Structure 1
Amino acid sequence: MVAAAGLLAGLLQTARGPFAVAQAWLAMRGRLPRELMAFLADAHEHRGVLRQVGTVYQFRHVELQRRLANR
């Protein structure tokens, strides 16, 4: 029990921890693809929908971004 609490506390001290928790929660609810990074890489490399600026993905088309935001 103490080890689990220590692991959870350590996980939440990094940026990766809350990201992983939020990603898992949204994937379970069907709001995100289960393999988010693979999905983003495919949209960038093969489909040309996203562009990568540094470590950030951006939509290439503002109209697509607006349409998806209004869903």
Structure 2
Amino acid sequence: MALVRKVYNLLFKRTSTFALSIVVGAVVFERVFDQAGDMIFEHINHGKLWKHIKHNYEIKQDE
């Protein structure tokens, strides 16, 4: 119960800190969700994306 009381006093007691914690939590969640989605997409499509196969189509130029 001491942890719940500390979290309440730190984040939820005042409206301003409550709103700020919601905004920060939403931004962090969006960033983590986006990164996880990109990782899953790249894992599923490994070898099919342009960055994986572009070396097959690039023309090498001699200097």
TM-score > 0.5 by shorter chain: no
TM-score, normalisation: structure 2? 0.33
TM-score, normalisation: structure 1? 0.31
Write 1 or 2 for the structure with the bigger share of helix. Answer: 2
